[in-house]
Structure 1
Amino acid sequence: MKLATLILPLALLVCAPLHAVEQNRGEKLVELLDVKGVGIAAAKAALDPTLERLRAMGIPAEGIQEISDAAATFYAKSLGSPEMLAAMARAYEQRFTPEELDELIRFYGSPLGRKATQVMPEISREIVSRNQESTKANSAELQAKIREVIAKYRPQQGAPAKEEERSLLDRKRR
């Protein structure tokens, strides 16, 4: 009986660290991925076209900086909150096995993985910029298709576009 009472606590002691490692894999990956930093950089990249439009409207540099700072603070709070980081960790844990998480952790902990994490904001910025250019260049085709579908399904065939339809299409052009 004494042997059994010694083995159970010893087994729990040995297994407890293994369980703790499994619980923290997602958190470790989120930390290595610098999700908060990458997310803030991507949000800033998405904000850049708006800031350019504001500059073109005559908003001075200090106003642009205030808006940029406010956005950075906002995204840091939302992306860096403990709840958000825990949700991200759970999302990884739900989609990857413990072994896959271990591989991701090894990769993102390596020099190449750290470099990938560091350059991701630059890549995101470039992709967003090129996508905006492409969208502008090709939006007329989509707008024509939308008008075609609206005309096809409008109860009164051939009726002029209603104000809200014109407004919707105008927003797509911007």
Structure 2
Amino acid sequence: MKRFFIIALIVISVFSVQSVFAQANDKMLEEFLKVAMVKEQFDETVNMMMSQQSKAFAGQGKIPDEVAKVLQGFYKKYLTWETVKNDMTKAYSETFTQEEIQAMIKFYSTPAGQSIVKKQPQLTQKIMLLTMASMQKHMPELQASLMEIMKKKQPAK
């Protein structure tokens, strides 16, 4: 009987310690998300995506305009900070150790870290535009390759 109580006490202690570590980790992640301005960057990225899609559909007639509105409604419903925060927090906690998160908090709390955080969306947009321009430049080559495959797959007449 005494052995049972000791084992039960050990099990309860382990779960209590894990709970304390989880709470500390959650607080640390919250602080990281705040100093790294992850929510703001996420919101800006989603807004950028919606804006680009609206521009892509603009002036193409009634149906594309309706499609753009549906896409925007979809994003506003399912791609919000509230809908992704838990998954994002989990991804950070599974990817980085507590020491790494602490180091990132320390860095992003500095003026240099804040400067990088504020410039990150601009950098992301520039890279995206460069990537899209590069892809568009080589699109004829891709289309030719795809057409060649389509020709081979068509049944002989």
TM range (shorter): 0.5 to 0.7
Q: Which moved more, 1:115-124 or 1:43-52?
A: 43-52
Partner of 1:138: 138
Conserved? CA contact 2:31–2:105, under 8 Å: yes
Matches within 5 A, 1:20-59: 20-53=23-56, 56=59
Q: Given residue 100 of structure 2, which amino acid in structure 1 is its aligned partner?
A: E
Indicate the SS of the match to 2:138. Answer: helix
TM-score (norm 2): 0.65
Shift of 1:93: 0.6
% same residue: 19
Matches within 5 A, 1:108-123: 108-123=108-123
For structure 1, which runs of at least 5 residues remain unmatched after alignment? Answer: 1-14, 160-174
Shift of 1:100: 1.1
Q: Given residue 78 of structure 1, which amino acid in structure 2 is its aligned partner?
A: L
For the residues of structure 1 that align with 2:147 and 2:57, how far apart are their CA atoms? 30
The number of residue pairs the alignment matches comes to 132
For the residues of structure 2 that align with 1:148 and 1:122, how far apart are their CA atoms? 39
Shift of 1:53: 4.3
Conserved? CA contact 2:32–2:101, under 8 Å: yes
Indicate the SS of the match to 1:28. Answer: helix
Indicate the SS of the match to 2:80. Answer: helix
For structure 2, which runs of at least 5 residues remain unmatched after alignment? Answer: 1-16
Indicate the SS of the match to 1:156. Answer: coil
Partner of 2:9: none
- Structure 1 residue 79 corresponds to structure 2 residue 80: yes
